[in-house]
Structure formats: C-alpha cells, structure tokens
Amino acid sequence: MTRDAEVLLSVKNLAVSFDTRQGTVAAVKGVDLTVRHGEVVCLVGESGSGKSVTGFSLMGLVDPPGRVTADELRFDGRDLLRASEREMDALRGKAISMVFQEPMTALNPGRTVGSQIAEVIRIHERTGREQAWKRAVDLLQRVGIREPAQRAKAYPHELSGGMRQRVMIAIACALTPQLIIADEPTTALDVTVQAQVLELLFSLQAETGAAVLFITHDLGVVAEIADRVVVMQGGRVVEEGGVRQIFEQPRQAYTQALLAAVPDVDAPRDRARRLSPPSSPGTEGTPQ
Amino acid sequence: MTDFMLRAEAVTKDYVVGRNLLGQPARVVQAVRNVSLSIAPGSTLALVGESGSGKSTLGRCIAGLVRPSSGSIHLAGHDVLRLSGAALMSFRRQVQTIFQDPYSSLNPRRSVGDAIMDGMVIHKLYGPQQRRDRMHALLERVGLQADHAQRFPHQFSGGQRQRIAIARALAVEPRFIVADEAVSALDVSVKAQVLDLLADLQAEHQLTYLFISHDLGVVRHFADRVAIMSAGELVEEGECDQIFEAPRHEYTRNLIAAVPRPDPGRRRLRAAPE
C-alpha cells in the first residue's frame, strides 16, 4: 500500500479553449484530476463534455488554435507545464501512451503493423532494426494475435477492427508505460470483441502495473473496470468518487440521470417504462 | 392470414465478390441465408447481431432497397419482390427507413422543412398549405420547434437530426418503419429521449417497427420479439424476455453475457476496490 497510494498524475485547474471566428470556445473549464500508480480512473461524459480534450491535453496533443492552461500538471514528479517539446517527445509513447477509438485512422494505412510497432521501440530506445522487429512480433503474440510473424507483415486494412485495436494496444504497451490514456478504445467494437479487448488491456495492466485513464461514455464498461470515476459535463467535473459510490450512491442529479438513462439488459420488458425524465424533449440544446 | 404486417420466407441474399475468366461467379458471399421472419402489426421485432451478421442486408431486403437472391417478402399487403408502378409508390410511402447517421441521409443543401415536405410532395399528399402546417406540427411533435424549418441539417446536433429523420419518415403516414441502428450513434441521455419518442409514436400511429441494433440493453427495453442473426443465418427468434432469460443457443448466451453491466457488484474483469 505504499507505491499504490502515490500520485502519478496530478492536474489542477486544467482549462482548454479554442479561438474560433465566432469567439473563444471553452472545452475544458477548470478540471482537477488525480491518477495514482496502478489505478484505473474512468473519465465519463457525453459528447461535448470535454473528456477527450482533457485526455489529449495531458498528452500535449492539443494544437493551436487550442490553448491549454493549468495551475499544475505533474506527471511522476515532473512539471509538464515547463517541459520542452523534446522532453514531451521523450515521454509520449514511452511513459505515457495512448490508445485511440479508431485504430484505422490512428495507424498508418501504408505501413505494415509490425513496422509501426518497431518504430515506437526504435524512437525511444537504441535498438537495431532486426531486434525491434523481433520485439514487435513478440508483442503481437502477447496481445493474442495468432501467427504473429506473418501478421506483423500485414497492413492495417488486412486486419479486423478487434485485431487492429490489439495492434494499438501492442504499440501502447511496447515500452511498459506508467500511464495509458485510452480514449473510447472499444466503442467501435462488437460486444464480444469488446469483452476480449478489455480483458487483454487489463491483463496487461495488471501485469505491468500501469495506471489507466479510460475515457468512455459506456457506463457498463466503467462499472466493469474502474477504481475511481470522474463524471464530466460541459467542460467541468460534476462528480468524482469510487466506482461503488458513483453507481450505488450517486450524489449529483446529472450522474443519477445518466445512470437512469441506461436500459437494463437484465430487467424484464416493461412497455410503460420511460428512460428519459418527463420534461426532457430538446435538452440537446437549440440549433446554432 | 392477415395477422402479419411482415412475412419473410427463406430470404437469401448472395453477393458475387469474384468472377472467373469467363465472367462466371467464382466466389459468392451469402450475406443472408434462408431467413424466415414475421412481425405482427403494431409490434417491434429487434434484429440483433454483430458486424457482418447480415442484419442490415436483411433489413434492406425487407425495405425493398436490395433485391434478395431468393425467397419471398410480404410487407404491408405488398409482395416486395414484385413491386412496380402504383404498388411501388404505395410501398415506398408505407415503408420508411431511419438510418444510423441522419447527417448522411439528410440532404445538407435542403432546409429541414423542405426535407420533411419532400415525401408529401412526391406522394401527392395534402395541399401546399396543409403540407406546411403538417410539417410544423411534426417538428413540434418530435421535440423541435416550428421555426426550425428554415434551418439546415448542419445546424442541429446528432439527436436533433435523428428527430428530423423521424419527422420526415412520419410525414407520409407510414405503417412500417425500418430503424437501422437509429439510436446507436447517440449519447446515453439523447438515446433515451429518442427511444421514448419512438415508443410514443408507435402507440399513437400503430406503427410496426423492424428495429435493427447491436445494443442488447436497448433491445431488451424496446422490442416485443427478438431475432438473433449470426453469419447470415437466423440463430433464434422469440419473445423478448424469453430470449434474454432462456436463450436456446450458445451464441445468444455468449452475446448476452458479453454485455458489460452498469453494476460494479457484478464485475468479472477486475476486482472492485475495497
């Protein structure tokens, strides 16, 4: 209970805004976030809640005209607010890695998956071409891809969605990161494939002791994997707590409504049951 | 014999994916294999399956958008494989489809009001002023405002666009709606609102739904009967609660078991803290 309790990532008053012709849009408005070593924190929210932008800003992946400010942004004792682009490059893909929702767009379609895994290894370590390729093949095997030596030579389009996400996980885990930021990594997958990919991700997580910041809108997945849950709405954190507290005693009306809106796959069909609150038509806002 | 709104028998759809030197089919993929289904008027059948199961292809065959290779489909009093002339027009009015992404199914250059009135114009329903009144009433019925009529699809959120697609479908007084992953792309709370709206409209207009979905939670909540498809074949079909509580096939059991439950007390992947 020593290392587990140590803070790995500490974020205070994170704000992200984008300057547009129509004015400044604030996507994240003062978010505090803590992730401890080995902890799985789920960042939950609907479209536009700011959850993905929060994840991207931690990786230093928000480009101009986006502006990121914070009172504190510390990772493993380092002050990321003062880190140079070179220091960030050394961190990204190694100590902090990322798994995206759509591996088809995150992977390079013109290069074999093996070479893309090997590339990450060669960027961060002094490794020969052959050695890096061997490690890529080993990684493919570790993420459950059969005939890894053959598959390493495949292009992304030759693999199924689930396999591509396994490749992304292989890249993310290649250099035993301390923190994996996973942005809706299973949203595009079928439920049985989702179950397999989650099982893989969290068996690797248990093996390596990495912390995971898991960004999702799927409350079923959150209940399955989270230690702690951070609920976001409109760029702010509305509620934060242990996974049991959030699901069993949600304090905020927004969290309660979100949970009530999930149809229960185990509840007998009830034609009279309504999922949305009675006065809700048009809560998506008015058109611009 | 008129107990069915839809009766599909032994529907098969082959796609030729490769031809030999003589131009004869060398490789054929059976997207739908010998599927038979029926739906009672005013009820909802959910067609469930994973990607590539053939559920959307079957839905398109039923909606008359794709011609099956063999089999027969009777829907709303029409023989879907033998439609032409006036019967085809009548079928096109009575059977409407709502797709997953209303942004790609709505014309970005047409105002929302025109999009809703198009169907009424094509099918020569109502006079010009009545069409306008009806369009305004439909916008309000689906939870939008009458003065949204001049706006364009890009000015609306995903949930609002799906409400527009629903208003557009309803405008021509259909009897049967194919909803192909119609709520899949929506946020949890918006999905809940659109599902409630679809349920209310079904009761008001005695609509029959073919609800194509991969989301088992939504299906359990929304469907009267459920048909499970895998690799082009119908695995099983039955009353909703029966399928979920006593599935006969292992495929169905695995599918239901794979759904993550929003209950940390029942987790399987990782132990819950304390």
Domain that holds residue A43: 3-101+178-260
In this predicted structure, the answer to whether residue A2 has a pLDDT above a threshold of 60 is no
Spell out the domain ranges in chain B: 6-259
B159-174 pLDDT tens trace: 899 999 999 999 999 9
Specify if A16 maps to a domain. yes
Beta strands B44-48 and B208-213 are: parallel
pLDDT tens across A187-198, in order? 888 999 999 999
Residue A226 lies in a domain: yes
Per DSSP, what are the bridge partners of residue A256? Answer: none
Interface predicted TM-score (ipTM) of this complex, two decimals: 0.85
Tell me whether residue A266 is in a domain: no
> Closest-CA residue in chain A for B49?
A190
Mean pLDDT on B94-114? 90
Nearest chain B residue to A268 by CA distance is B241
Bridge pairing between strands B176-180 and B208-213: parallel
Interface of B with A in 32-91 (CB under 8 A): 50-51
- B269 contacts in A (CB within 8 Å)? 198-199, 202, 224-225
Burial of A202 (0-12, 13-18, 19+ CB in 10 A): middle
Q: Which has the minimum average pLDDT: A192-201, A273-282, B247-256?
A: A273-282
A vs B, Cβ pairs < 8 A, gives 158
Contact A205, A212 (CB under 8 A): yes
Most B CBs within 10 Å, among A191, A199, A286, to test the B interface: A191
Q: Which residues of B touch A257 (CB under 8 A)?
A: 189
The CATH number assigned to the domain with range B6-259 reads: 3.40.50.300
Average pLDDT for A154-172 = 93
A224 and chain B in contact, CB less than 8 A: yes
Percent of chain B with pLDDT over 90: 83
The verdict on residue A121 lying in a domain is no
For B58-98, how does the pLDDT look when each residue is reduced to its tens digit (9 = 90+)? 999 999 999 999 999 999 999 999 999 999 999 999 999 99
Residue B87: Cβ-neighbour burial (10 angstroms; 0-12, 13-18, 19+)? middle
CATH number for A184? 3.40.50.300
| Residue A30 forms part of a structural domain | yes
Predicted local distance difference test score (pLDDT) of residue A281: 44
Provide the domain count of chain A: 1
Q: What mean pLDDT do residues B14-25 have?
A: 85
d(CA B134, CA B249): 47
Phi, psi of B133, rounded to the nearest 5 degrees: -60, -45
pLDDT given for residue A283 in this prediction: 46
Strands B78-79 and B95-98: unpaired
A209 at B interface, C-beta within 8 A: no
A46 within a domain of the structure (yes/no): yes
Cβ within 8 Å, pair A223-B216:
no
Given a cut of 70, is residue A180 above it in pLDDT? yes
Show the tokens assigned to A172: 């993310």
A287 belongs to a structural domain? no
- On chain B, the residues whose CB falls within 8 A of the CB of A234 are none
CA angle B45, B47, B53 (to 5 degrees): 165
B244 in Cβ contact with B228 (< 8 Å): no
Interior angle at CA A135, CA A131 and CA A137, nearest 5:
120
Query: Quick check: B110 pLDDT over 80?
Result: yes
pLDDT band at residue A102 using 50, 70 and 90 as cut-offs? confident
pLDDT digits (tens, 9 = 90+) for B25-63: 888 889 999 999 999 999 999 999 998 899 999 999 999
